[in-house]
Amino acid sequence: RTVYVNGEFLPETEAKISIFDRSFLFADGVYEVTSVLDGKLIDFMGHMKRLERSLSELKFAFKPDIDQLLEAHRELVKRNDITEGLIYLQVSRGSAGDRDFAINPETTPTIVMFTQSKSLIKSALAERGQKIVTFPDIRWRRSDIKTVQLLYASLLKTEAASKGADDAWMVLDGFVTEGSSNNAYIVTQDGTIVTRELSTDILHGITRASVLKCAEELQLKVEERHFTIEEAQNAKEAFSTSASAFVCPVAEIDGKKIGDGVPGPIAKRLREIYIEANRATAL
Ligand code: PLP
């Protein structure tokens, strides 16, 4: 694989960053994952806007050059011959040559990128629907910033798998926040799509924004509000969204089947429409 490190394209075995890099020592870095369909980038500008926001919330002085990042994304797609898959981009604070809690404003950010070839449109999980288990949301209270501090999500995903489930949804003060790496939705018995409103408690999903727009165009009712696990278990449908899995139906939550326990028509329709709309505008 050819990867990208600070402006250079090189074989992954030759890519190096400092052991003092603050992303390694303090999880002081942010990232984006952009999907690739037909060799083109899905909602690239959406991801770049969120990257800028994450950087500014963490007080990075660094302003990314978006044109340059677009070029680098395209070059990496080309060099790795990716027709369908993902591009990971990480911007870390960089290194001041030692370990120090206080952030040195002089550090130069480290930018790394790599690709993952992956079948996104054809997905066994989307076809059968995910089994979800729930856990308390004990993350730091700035889940809106896309930092590389992903240990809890990673532990949950592992724990979910050990329970025979596909993913974990998190619950804060009795209400669902989001999935381990996706936003969470239900469809009520009267057909309303419900997802938690934007705040510092959840990541402002790029796929979420696009899917809610699709829902509006389909004249579906949308409510952005809190919902409980109990409400989810009694919903008509449930699903999640992310750049890497698009719209992915949920079949079961904590052992309780959602609807008939198979992907519902609204989730399936939104998945199709999302793919169609974003394919047409890919860069
Ligand atoms: N929520 C969390 C915690 C995530 O990690 C992700 C994606 O990685 C999402 C939501 C979905 O965001 P997006 O649609 O931008 O991929």
**Residue 103 neighbours by CB under 8 Å, 6+ apart:** 22, 28, 59, 93
Q: What is the pLDDT of residue 214?
A: 98
104 falls in which pLDDT band (50, 70, 90)? very high
**203: Cβ below 6 Å to ligand 1?**
yes
Question: Ligand 1 center to residue 152 CA distance, Å?
Answer: 14
Output the six-digit token pair for 162.
């050990």
Same domain, 148 and 250: yes
Query: With a 6 A CB cut-off, is 207 part of the ligand 1 pocket?
Result: yes
Q: What is the dihedral of CA 265, 271, 274, 278, to 10 degrees?
A: -150
Which is it for strands 40-41 and 85-92: parallel, antiparallel or unpaired?
Answer: unpaired
Tell me: do 83 and 142 sit in the same domain.
no
Q: Of all protein residues, whose CA lies closest to atom 1 belonging to ligand 1?
A: 182
How many whole angstroms from 242 Cα to the centroid of ligand 1? 5
Structure tokens at 52: 């800028």
With a 6 A CB cut-off, is 267 part of the ligand 1 pocket?
no
- 167 and 34 inside one domain: no
Q: How far is CA 245 from the centre of its chain?
A: 9
* 158-181 pLDDT, tens digit each: 999 999 999 999 999 999 999 999
3-state secondary structure of 45: helix
Ligand 1: which residue has its CA nearest to atom 2?
181
Range of the domain at 6: 2-117
Looking at the structure, tell me whether residues 241 and 201 fall in a common domain.
yes
Determine how many CB atoms are found less than 10 A away from the CB of residue 142.
13
Find out whether 112 and 17 touch, Cβ atoms under 8 Å.
yes
Q: 251: alpha, beta or left, given left = phi > 0 and alpha = psi -120 to 50?
A: alpha
Of 40, 131, 146, 268, which is the active-site residue?
146
Query: From the alpha carbon of 33, which atom of ligand 1 is closest?
Result: 16
Residues 129 and 268 in one domain: yes
Domain count, the chain: 2
The pTM for the full model equals: 0.97
58 CA to middle of ligand 1, Å? Answer: 18
Mean pLDDT (the chain, rounded): 98
Residue 165: partners with Cβ closer than 8 Å, 6 or more residues away = 130, 131, 132, 133
For residues 153 and 28, what is the distance between their CA atoms, to the nearest angstrom? 17
Give the model confidence (pLDDT) of 230-275 as tens digits.
999 999 999 999 999 999 999 999 999 999 999 999 999 999 999 9
pLDDT at 122 (0 to 100) = 97
* E strand or H helix that includes residue 206: helix 206-217
- Rounded to whole angstroms, how far apart are CA atoms 160 and 166? 6
* Contact yes or no for 37/117 (Cβ under 8 A): no
The ligand 1 atom at the shortest distance from the C-alpha of residue 143 is 3
CATH number at residue 169: 3.20.10.10
Identify the pLDDT of residue 145: 98
State the ipTM, two decimals. Answer: 0.99
Based on the domain organization, do 109 and 128 belong to the same domain? no
Same domain, 19 and 108: yes
Q: Are residues 201 and 111 in the same domain?
A: no
Angle at 207 between CA 205 and CA 213, to 5 degrees: 110
| CA 205 – ligand 1 centroid, Å | 5
The minimum-distance atom of ligand 1 relative to the CA of 46 is 15
Last residue of a domain, one of 117, 148, 181: 117
Domain stop point among 85, 117, 149: 117
Q: Annotated catalytic, 16?
A: no
